[in-house]
Structure 1
Amino acid sequence: MISFLSEILPVVKPVWHLSVIALNLVVVGYALSHVLLRNRDHRSAAFWAVLIAFVPFLGACFYALFGINRLRRRGAKYRHSLELAAVGEACPVNPWQTVPELKELRALSTSLGMISRFGFTVGNHVTVLRNGEEAMPAMLEAIRGAKKSVSLCSYIFEAHGIGMKFVEELVKAKDRGVEVRVLVDDAGTRYSWPPITHLLRGRGIKAKRFMPIRFVLRILTMNLRNHRKVMVVDGTTGFTGGMNIRQGNMLEADPSHPVQDMHFKVEGPVVQQLQRVFAEDWAFCSGEVLSGPLWYPTLEPAGEVAAIGVPDGPDEDLELMPKTIFAALSEARHSVRIMTPYFLPPPALIWALNLAALRGVDVKVLTPKRNNIPFVRWAARTLYPEMLEKGVKIYEADGHFDHSKFMTVDGLWSLVGSTNWDPRSLRLNFEFNLACFDDLLAQELDREFEKKVRNGTLESLAALRNATLAERLRDGFARLFMPFL
């Protein structure tokens, strides 16, 4: 027996080695083919190709875990399966020819009509709500008046303070026969205890967490969060913007971590698009399809704003917001105002900002000096010189951390919603924004911007160059982590 094994083992060993080599070649070949055929980002494709080629087998395994956008395929599957009422008409090639409100920014309106999968709507009204003192009572009043349905999506929904008032009103609405659905991102449920979804379900509310982070799935989905803030009552009144449901927004209550913010009440036909975005996310998480007049009633004109919803996320709507912003910057002729809590624009948007400034557009950016994530501000400061040199004016606001986010162009167009100017928000998160064509709304936001600028500091090249060596090393180190911020 021993002599037999001594004769066969030298044969088996080379065959085993060859099998492993063959398997690795097949796996590497398949992974490389997938990168070359499916990955649209050349920088990402180059990174994965090198890793797969030079780290045998393990590189392909890492690519399978982290490099493949499964959400796009899954998103396409559930979205196309929804039998929902059409939301907005198919956008004409030149929407400004049929919608007078769009004529002054005809190129931008045409671009947005092609970028978004929604259609333009007219006859909308958008109300600016400043801080929790204006936004939260308006939302609670809408829930108190609900007769048929309430759909609520938030990134953060705290289970105390103002959050408990929302719980109470949602339970009262459910008890009087209103259909209530609540969706909260899983990461956002961890800001308070117990998780708000547990509390709501315990009181009979249909509530879901978006992409729960569990065990191995924590690695696969930790960066793909639902950052949208959308509430629709009776299918007729909507709320959207950047405000989470948390006590920090209630400035008059002197919270331990005060946050300034802005939210928007929306009325008119575009509310159907807010409802559609919620319904898609709800179907993704629960499998339940929301349809019919209970959720999509016929909507009458409520104002003079022409608006279109722009959903964005790592699925079918990948990178629609960078395209929207780029189109707006390209169309600007007189002024651009940008307010964002996190200002880490990708190279393409930096170029667009610089080009706008070079052709004489007054470009101003306002971002907080006291950021709730200091790493973001440190990294952002390494980007300032390139823009300051071209004439972009960057202000850092003093006072409480300001989470507000909006953009205006030429006092005619505004973009409001949940998107920040950072890699996570522009590429990884699920976001929702409204592009609005209305001079009164844009000019109101411009006035808010100028009011906040007065409490800020204009950055200069001299100040950045005179920073201490320790500060410059700190900022440069933070910049290394920019893709993850």
Structure 2
Amino acid sequence: MGLHIAYTLYILIALTLVVSILLHGAKPSKILGWLLAIFTVPVGGILLYLLLGRNRRKNKLILLKKDRFFKFPKPTIAHMAAMRGQFKRIMTLVYRNSHFPPTEGNNLYLLKDGKTTFEAIFKALEAAKSTIHLQYYIFEEGELADTFLDLFVKKIKEGVSVRMIYDGVGSFSLSKKYLAKLQEIGVEVYPFLPFKFGRFFRTLNYRNHRKIIVVDGFIGFTGGINISDKYLKGDETLGKWHDMHLQIIGPAAKHLDYVFVMDWYLVSQKDCTPVKIDRTIEGDANSLVQIVAGGPDDDFASLEQTYFSIINKAKKYIYITNPYIIPGQAILQALQTAALSGVDVRLLISEQVDSKIVGWSVRSYFEALLKSGVKINLFPDGFLHSKIIVSDDAITTIGTANLDDRSFEQNYEVNALIYDEAFAKLLKTDFLNDAHISKSLSYTEFINRPWSDKLKEGFGKLFSALL
């Protein structure tokens, strides 16, 4: 009798989920996959769907009327004038998705690897006068974390407000002792969607992958680098960690601050109006920059649409550096179409991987990419973690988003789009230098790889939408 009741309850739950999938499913392939999982994997299929499968663009993870607590920056005449030229459509797309117009008058500094990045960050923090806002997916204890703590003590004594967000999963190792120290010295600190039993299935798969620091609403940092000593000392398994970060001085940094402000409201339910400080920017501040932010609560996959548009817009070349290139059908088609059309399409991917199954999934797309003429280079020196696209000596993006469904559909991400010829050429040169020391794959060589590798890649591809 008890077994009959349990079976009936299971069928009712499964049918309820089927209705939900049919009403709210985003992609036909995923709809079919989840239907098969629910009916072929007893109990496990339902649990996996509850954990990983629900369409958050239909069923918002966090109900938030953004204009309830602050106004997005209204585009000025100068902003509207900047939305012109060959990238007007991309600028308009980003503005309609993220509400940030392109801004002129920015100084940009390319920060390669940990030492250079943290020297610039600590210099900016030392000079803070009003506010320090920072949020990271991974914030690990160690020498860097201790340096941040010491700086926070000093700046709070000087009257600077310090606010910090850390991801509840990415920074799971952050100890209660360290968090207590932050609170004791006056840092306002909150986790983003921490582990809670009551909402475990609803939130575990949706993480804040952003890396942002904004000082006084005027100096901003974003890119791929987390707070971890491995960026200074390397990793016992993977060796040296290579990554790219960006320092922005100017109006685009204030837009990064708006992204932080939105996340701050989500985690604290507190308003935090971005500071308004007028400063003179040193040097030739002539870079045109646009911030694009995206997450599972947005109506559209803004980062995927941005990447897709940049790839489709390329006329001469498009160079992509990213450790996690697991393209959906749209991005895969765009890369293949560009390569077959004569565009020089090159991917720079780390030969070392921090997850075997992710590495198999990435490699499972190599054959289709190589066959269409996409060039693939495997970087051999440690682990390459940068997330960069540069195209046609004209447009660049640096940020936190990978080329995979997780970044496009499930994570909160942020990138900077740079419409600047000199900056694009700088990143192009850096890409070619790294590609020169990398292993170039050939289609003929790759298709003759061992069958065991093909089997692993097939297994990885099967789970690519869940990674």
Same fold (TM over 0.5): yes
2:397 counterpart of 1:415: yes
Structure 1 counterpart of 2:185? 203
Partner SS, residue 189 of structure 1:
coil
2:61 counterpart of 1:99: no
TM-score by length of 1: 0.85
Question: 1:81 is matched by which residue type in structure 2?
Answer: R
Structure 2 counterpart of 1:79? 66
From the superposition, tell whether residues 361 and 58 of structure 1 become closer, same or farther in structure 2 (CA, over 3 Å): closer
- Is the contact made by 2:240 and 2:381 (CA closer than 8 Å) also made in structure 1? no
Identity of aligned residues (%): 28
Structure 2 counterpart of 1:238? 220
Structure 1 counterpart of 2:318? 336
**Following TM superposition, by how much is the alpha carbon of 1:78 offset from its aligned partner in structure 2, in angstroms?**
4.8
Q: 1:451 aligns with which of 424, 433, 436?
A: 433
Cα root mean square deviation, aligned: 3.1
Partner SS, residue 411 of structure 1:
coil
**Following TM superposition, by how much is the alpha carbon of 1:384 offset from its aligned partner in structure 2, in angstroms?**
0.8
2:458 and 2:20 map into 1 onto residues whose CA distance is: 34
- Is the contact made by 2:56 and 2:296 (CA closer than 8 Å) also made in structure 1? no
From the superposition, tell whether residues 350 and 51 of structure 1 become closer, same or farther in structure 2 (CA, over 3 Å): closer
**Following TM superposition, by how much is the alpha carbon of 1:411 offset from its aligned partner in structure 2, in angstroms?**
1.0
Structure 1 counterpart of 2:462? 480
CA deviation profile, 1:55-103 (whole Å, cap 9, x unmatched): 9999889866765456863544252321x243241899xx8x8228x41
Partner SS, residue 147 of structure 1:
coil
Question: 1:156 is matched by which residue type in structure 2?
Answer: I
Structure 1 segment 47-66 matched on structure 2, within 5 A: 47-48=33-34
CA deviation profile, 1:439-485 (whole Å, cap 9, x unmatched): 11111111111111111011112222222222222222222221222
Structure 2 counterpart of 1:153? 135
From the superposition, tell whether residues 155 and 138 of structure 1 become closer, same or farther in structure 2 (CA, over 3 Å): same
From the superposition, tell whether residues 59 and 456 of structure 1 become closer, same or farther in structure 2 (CA, over 3 Å): closer
**Following TM superposition, by how much is the alpha carbon of 1:218 offset from its aligned partner in structure 2, in angstroms?**
3.1
Partner SS, residue 272 of structure 1:
helix
1:70 and 1:353 map into 2 onto residues whose CA distance is: 27
2:303 counterpart of 1:321: yes
Structure 1 counterpart of 2:418? 436
TM-score by length of 2: 0.88
Partner SS, residue 415 of structure 2:
strand
Structure 2 counterpart of 1:363? 345
From the superposition, tell whether residues 185 and 61 of structure 1 become closer, same or farther in structure 2 (CA, over 3 Å): closer
2:452 counterpart of 1:465: no
What count of residue pairs does the alignment treat as equivalent?
459
Partner SS, residue 30 of structure 2:
helix
Unaligned runs of at least 5 residues, structure 1: 1-12
**Following TM superposition, by how much is the alpha carbon of 1:387 offset from its aligned partner in structure 2, in angstroms?**
1.1
Unaligned runs of at least 5 residues, structure 2: none
1:32 and 1:376 map into 2 onto residues whose CA distance is: 29
**Following TM superposition, by how much is the alpha carbon of 1:142 offset from its aligned partner in structure 2, in angstroms?**
1.0
From the superposition, tell whether residues 449 and 63 of structure 1 become closer, same or farther in structure 2 (CA, over 3 Å): closer
**Following TM superposition, by how much is the alpha carbon of 1:390 offset from its aligned partner in structure 2, in angstroms?**
1.1
CA deviation profile, 1:265-290 (whole Å, cap 9, x unmatched): 01111112101110111110111110
From the superposition, tell whether residues 383 and 41 of structure 1 become closer, same or farther in structure 2 (CA, over 3 Å): same
- Is the contact made by 2:61 and 2:202 (CA closer than 8 Å) also made in structure 1? no
1:313 and 1:38 map into 2 onto residues whose CA distance is: 17
Structure 1 segment 230-379 matched on structure 2, within 5 A: 230-250=212-232, 253=233, 256=236, 257-291=239-273, 295-298=275-278, 303-316=285-298, 318-379=300-361
Q: Please say which structure displays the higher CA radius of gyration.
A: 1
Structure 2 counterpart of 1:404? 386
2:145 counterpart of 1:163: yes
Structure 1 segment 129-148 matched on structure 2, within 5 A: 129-148=111-130
- Is the contact made by 1:269 and 1:299 (CA closer than 8 Å) also made in structure 2? no
Structure 1 segment 202-221 matched on structure 2, within 5 A: 202-221=184-203
- Is the contact made by 2:193 and 2:203 (CA closer than 8 Å) also made in structure 1? yes
From the superposition, tell whether residues 383 and 68 of structure 1 become closer, same or farther in structure 2 (CA, over 3 Å): closer
Structure 1 counterpart of 2:25? 39
Partner SS, residue 288 of structure 1:
coil
